[in-house]
A and B are shown apart, each in its own frame.
Chain A
């Protein structure tokens, strides 16, 4: 009964609309769209796409920035644990990572732009004493043609995410034992980590890595803020084509959206092959007893970079808050020459409603997703088997789809059914992305819960509902709150979904911050970006505090949260 209900809600509510949107993108990609007079199947949109100026560069930029950012994030996260991966450090790590983990990509990207630009904070701190300049250097940093700033912005945001996922996965691995054994065989810390521990961790975080890969290949907001703009990466270019005043451009734009999907699938396939190759080579080397002396210093170096990177991210977020409190701050002053709260006051009429809407959409979509996730996992328990394969695919596929590939078409489908533009449809579409992340955060702790508690309660005659409400949920309060915090942050970060489905009428902190990031006053951008970062941070803190307060007298229930 519960199983059927959950299947209907997830299938009809989350899977079907995305499928409809995808189908509606494929049609114009092959020339079929009434509004611009296309009726027959044709490859013309593709020919047009390939001939558009800058197409090749856009495609190359997307692929390189996506692959490089994902690889670097994974390497940085892995090396961090290889070097510092004792349990004692993880509490500290989590504290420092939380702001970056909670902040939306757009806020982190804006923070990095303010930090690294030629007139950014770093050069302000260095000028004129170190650079000898009173002018900002005439060099391209933000929007650089190779996409290096974009890669940096993505890595600053994705590394903490992968660190977080690895930390969770490491709980299932007997790290200390492995390290002891490695040491007794004469292997260094990093060698043991990469040969023994990492291979056990990686399968658990593989999905997260693919999500990072797909996201980095199709990111829009961070690419608008940090990426090259002449031409931009393919995702941004696709968005530009979709919004070209000449409506015939919809055809090549749709083809480009389909191409993005293919790029993501291709990149994941490539990554998968690389995984196999590394396993193969790694086995041979382990069997051959190769020691790799270079591994230890390299890992140490990269591990330190991770710390620097997290520091950079935090500094960027601090810079945001400073900018929002600035009145006048000319180059090369290290700090504003005049501070003021005036800017907060001046745009209060805009950030207040945006804050309320963001919080409302985030709270409702998270709560609904959490209920759905609980229902899904409970249905698994009752059917007595965890779902894999198709079911997992159904949950997680929104994480690997490029948003451009279905959102525009989904919006038209919504209009046809008279269901566009409202708060309800925005919340619904946010759930496409919130639900998978809530599942990602909740599924493992749920499945790891000792089944004997439930069995004991059942043997005492409690009903299934009773067991869920009075045993499982209280035991899982920590993970539930963590999943809620993750879900809320995902909702706050949604840009394209809010913009397209909300028809621009649903104004959130993210749509405001990104709309303004292209120009506007840096102080005002800073107001929106810092709110955008602070709101999910607040929810994270609450999510950590609530179990600690409720279970202050039952330490055993706190587990790792303590």
Chain B
């Protein structure tokens, strides 16, 4: 009996994987000849170049072209889909694939603007850790449920110029002390930008009396109590920021330019390899080093999602699948390409795939992933929204 069950289970598994393979073949067939309009933030040249490379590869392998629609903000693409829905355009939409996470994902998921679930049926999903608590399954505390597929790891880090800073501050209170001693030599991107908001969230996690409340949606009672120490800290920090805290760089890339120009000594990044890559490309001095805070820093996965009305859904799935191919991930982790850490589960990789990762070049500006400490969970998106609003109220005259 037991034997029978096992056998039928095995048979079922085999037939379902067979069916899956057939389904995937149908997707590949339909995808051939499609051009996928990938809406992705266009402010980072290496990412743009990587996306072009992805397009060349998928065209050669599957006959799927990729055209990057460079966004200055991800919400532009979200609003385009909303506009299309508003205009009754339920198919043939202009957005095929979006680089997305956090609040924009929540917004699209809540409004039913996403196609799916599709992520777990991608053939290469077998290399991912898809257990319910993994970073693949929860995006800013919002359950992913197969409506988006991961492609790169982001982790909050600091970059500093070691020629000008000897001992970089390793905690938020230490950062305040350092800024007091070196007024005008540090800043964060504008809080309306993702990176600026992340800086506040990182500080909030460290300073909040009870950080665990950050994992559930924000409530009025919690909010005041939780953020009070943050504002005390920020009120002291702000006058010591670059330009007296009256003006902020637009985003991470603008902040990197300030570090290169010597306008600041410490900058922020959501990509541990970005400084090393920038040194490689002549846009940061060789003395720049990367570190994370002692208590760990926020990290998350970047995802791709497909709108409900995408004109080229099959092509979009082919691209999403190609992105989590071990060979693609190894290429992406190459410091000369993107340097973004892989989203794959090391335990699920075979020897050959592992080798591709182990052979990657190193750089003095590139930290080892083990030196970057703990990865902290993103707060629920409602915290970020509320925090940005409250910051705007307090500090926008």
Contact indicator A518/B250 (Cβ below 8 Å): yes
Cβ of B210 within 8 Å of any chain A Cβ, yes or no, is no
Asked whether A144 and B71 contact (CB < 8 A) given A119-B263, A138-B184, the answer is no
Closest-CB distance, B193 to chain A (whole angstroms): 9
Closest-CB distance, B224 to chain A (whole angstroms): 18
Contact indicator A118/B282 (Cβ below 8 Å): no
Note all chain B residues with C-beta closer than 8 A to A136.
261-263
When the two chains form the complex, which single residue of B72, B88, B111 contacts A416, counting CB atoms closer than 8 Å? B88
Note all chain A residues with C-beta closer than 8 A to B370.
none
Note all chain B residues with C-beta closer than 8 A to A34.
86
Contact indicator A243/B261 (Cβ below 8 Å): no
Contact indicator B43/A331 (Cβ below 8 Å): no
Note all chain A residues with C-beta closer than 8 A to B44.
519-520
In Å, the complex CA distance between A408 and B253 comes to 28
Closest-CB distance, A484 to chain B (whole angstroms): 30
Of the listed stretches A1-9, A381-389, A502-510, chain B binds: A502-510
Contact indicator A230/B190 (Cβ below 8 Å): yes
Residues from 131 to 150 in A contacting B, C-beta threshold 8 Å: 134-136, 138-140, 143-145
Of the listed stretches A288-296, A357-365, A468-476, A521-529, chain B binds: A521-529
Contact indicator A505/B72 (Cβ below 8 Å): no
Asked whether A421 and B94 contact (CB < 8 A) given A327-B282, A515-B43, the answer is yes
Note all chain A residues with C-beta closer than 8 A to B192.
240
In Å, the complex CA distance between A93 and B231 comes to 55
Asked whether A246 and B107 contact (CB < 8 A) given A415-B89, A504-B39, A521-B283, the answer is yes
Closest-CB distance, A345 to chain B (whole angstroms): 12
B78-98 contact mask (Cβ, 8 Å, vs A): 1 or 0: 111011111111000010000
Contact indicator A518/B396 (Cβ below 8 Å): no
Asked whether A504 and B76 contact (CB < 8 A) given A350-B48, A521-B257, the answer is yes
Cβ of B37 within 8 Å of any chain A Cβ, yes or no, is yes
Asked whether A331 and B248 contact (CB < 8 A) given A57-B397, A415-B87, A420-B94, the answer is no
Contact indicator B257/A522 (Cβ below 8 Å): yes
In Å, the complex CA distance between A421 and B311 comes to 13
When the two chains form the complex, which single residue of B86, B103, B184 contacts A412, counting CB atoms closer than 8 Å? B86
Cβ of A247 within 8 Å of any chain B Cβ, yes or no, is yes
B41-85 contact mask (Cβ, 8 Å, vs A): 1 or 0: 011110011001000000000000001011111011111101111
Contact indicator A243/B285 (Cβ below 8 Å): no
Cβ of A430 within 8 Å of any chain B Cβ, yes or no, is no
Cβ of A411 within 8 Å of any chain B Cβ, yes or no, is yes
Contact indicator A229/B248 (Cβ below 8 Å): yes
Cβ of B104 within 8 Å of any chain A Cβ, yes or no, is yes
The closest CB in chain A to the CB of B70 belongs to: A515
Cβ of A244 within 8 Å of any chain B Cβ, yes or no, is yes
Contact indicator B396/A53 (Cβ below 8 Å): yes
Note all chain B residues with C-beta closer than 8 A to A340.
282
Residue from A53, A119, A134, A327 with most neighbouring chain B CB atoms (10 Å) = A53
Contact indicator A140/B247 (Cβ below 8 Å): yes
Contact indicator A245/B253 (Cβ below 8 Å): no
B259-274 contact mask (Cβ, 8 Å, vs A): 1 or 0: 0111100000000000
Closest-CB distance, B356 to chain A (whole angstroms): 25
In Å, the complex CA distance between A39 and B49 comes to 46
Asked whether A54 and B45 contact (CB < 8 A) given A245-B107, A504-B39, A519-B253, the answer is no
Cβ of B14 within 8 Å of any chain A Cβ, yes or no, is no
Asked whether A519 and B69 contact (CB < 8 A) given A243-B79, A245-B78, A330-B260, the answer is no
**Main secondary structure on chain A at its contact with chain B?**
loop
Cβ of B228 within 8 Å of any chain A Cβ, yes or no, is no
Contact indicator B75/A244 (Cβ below 8 Å): yes
Q: How many residues does chain B have at the interface if contact means C-beta atoms less than 8 Å apart?
A: 68
Contact indicator B45/A519 (Cβ below 8 Å): no
Residues from 352 to 397 in B contacting A, C-beta threshold 8 Å: 385, 389, 392-393, 395-397
Contact indicator A504/B43 (Cβ below 8 Å): no
Contact indicator A135/B262 (Cβ below 8 Å): yes
Cβ of A512 within 8 Å of any chain B Cβ, yes or no, is yes
Cβ of A85 within 8 Å of any chain B Cβ, yes or no, is no
Cβ of A35 within 8 Å of any chain B Cβ, yes or no, is yes
When the two chains form the complex, which single residue of B67, B71, B282 contacts A338, counting CB atoms closer than 8 Å? B282
Cβ of A347 within 8 Å of any chain B Cβ, yes or no, is yes
Residues from 519 to 560 in A contacting B, C-beta threshold 8 Å: 519-524
Asked whether A519 and B79 contact (CB < 8 A) given A229-B190, A504-B69, A505-B94, the answer is no
Closest-CB distance, B319 to chain A (whole angstroms): 16
Note all chain A residues with C-beta closer than 8 A to B246.
140, 145, 230
When the two chains form the complex, which single residue of A138, A243, A245, A519 contacts B243, counting CB atoms closer than 8 Å? A138
Contact indicator A504/B80 (Cβ below 8 Å): yes
Contact indicator B262/A331 (Cβ below 8 Å): yes
Cβ of A215 within 8 Å of any chain B Cβ, yes or no, is no
A346-360 contact mask (Cβ, 8 Å, vs B): 1 or 0: 110110000000000
Cβ of A231 within 8 Å of any chain B Cβ, yes or no, is yes
Closest-CB distance, B102 to chain A (whole angstroms): 9
A237-254 contact mask (Cβ, 8 Å, vs B): 1 or 0: 000101111110000000
In Å, the complex CA distance between A420 and B75 comes to 19
Note all chain B residues with C-beta closer than 8 A to A516.
42-43
The closest CB in chain B to the CB of A417 belongs to: B87
Cβ of B12 within 8 Å of any chain A Cβ, yes or no, is no
Asked whether A524 and B45 contact (CB < 8 A) given A144-B247, A245-B104, A519-B257, the answer is yes
Note all chain B residues with C-beta closer than 8 A to A455.
none
Residues from 241 to 270 in A contacting B, C-beta threshold 8 Å: 242-247
Cβ of A94 within 8 Å of any chain B Cβ, yes or no, is no
A102-122 contact mask (Cβ, 8 Å, vs B): 1 or 0: 000000000000000011000
In Å, the complex CA distance between A516 and B71 comes to 10
Contact indicator A505/B84 (Cβ below 8 Å): no
Note all chain B residues with C-beta closer than 8 A to A420.
94
Cβ of B174 within 8 Å of any chain A Cβ, yes or no, is no
Note all chain A residues with C-beta closer than 8 A to B94.
420-421, 503, 505
In Å, the complex CA distance between A511 and B42 comes to 11
Residues from 92 to 138 in B contacting A, C-beta threshold 8 Å: 94, 103-104, 107, 111
Cβ of B291 within 8 Å of any chain A Cβ, yes or no, is no
In Å, the complex CA distance between A524 and B46 comes to 12
Cβ of B13 within 8 Å of any chain A Cβ, yes or no, is no
A123-166 contact mask (Cβ, 8 Å, vs B): 1 or 0: 00000000000111011100111000000000000000000000
Note all chain B residues with C-beta closer than 8 A to A522.
257
Cβ of A40 within 8 Å of any chain B Cβ, yes or no, is no
Cβ of A328 within 8 Å of any chain B Cβ, yes or no, is yes
The closest CB in chain B to the CB of A144 belongs to: B247
Contact indicator B242/A138 (Cβ below 8 Å): yes
Residues from 143 to 198 in A contacting B, C-beta threshold 8 Å: 143-145
Contact indicator B247/A230 (Cβ below 8 Å): yes
Note all chain B residues with C-beta closer than 8 A to A242.
79
Residue from A57, A504, A507 with most neighbouring chain B CB atoms (10 Å) = A504
Cβ of B7 within 8 Å of any chain A Cβ, yes or no, is no
- A-binding residues in B (CB < 8 A): 37, 39, 42-45, 48-49, 52, 67, 69-73, 75-80, 82-89, 94, 103-104, 107, 111, 183-184, 190, 192, 242-244, 246-254, 256-258, 260-263, 281-283, 285, 385, 389, 392-393, 395-397
- B-binding residues in A (CB < 8 A): 33-35, 53-54, 57, 118-119, 134-136, 138-140, 143-145, 228-231, 240, 242-247, 327-328, 330-331, 338, 340, 346-347, 349-350, 408, 411-412, 415-416, 418, 420-421, 503-505, 507, 511-512, 514-516, 518-524
Given contacts A346-B45, A520-B45, 20 further A-B contacts (CB under 8 A): A53-B392, A53-B393, A119-B258, A229-B247, A231-B396, A245-B75, A245-B107, A247-B107, A331-B261, A349-B52, A412-B87, A415-B87, A504-B70, A504-B80, A514-B72, A519-B43, A519-B251, A519-B252, A519-B256, A520-B44
A-B pairs with lowest CB-CB distance, top 9: A519-B253, A119-B261, A138-B184, A415-B87, A35-B86, A518-B250, A54-B396, A519-B254, A504-B69
Show 13 residue pairs from A and B whose CB-CB distance is below 8 angstroms, ordered by the A residue: A57-B396, A57-B397, A119-B261, A134-B262, A327-B282, A331-B262, A350-B48, A503-B80, A505-B69, A515-B43, A518-B72, A519-B251, A520-B44
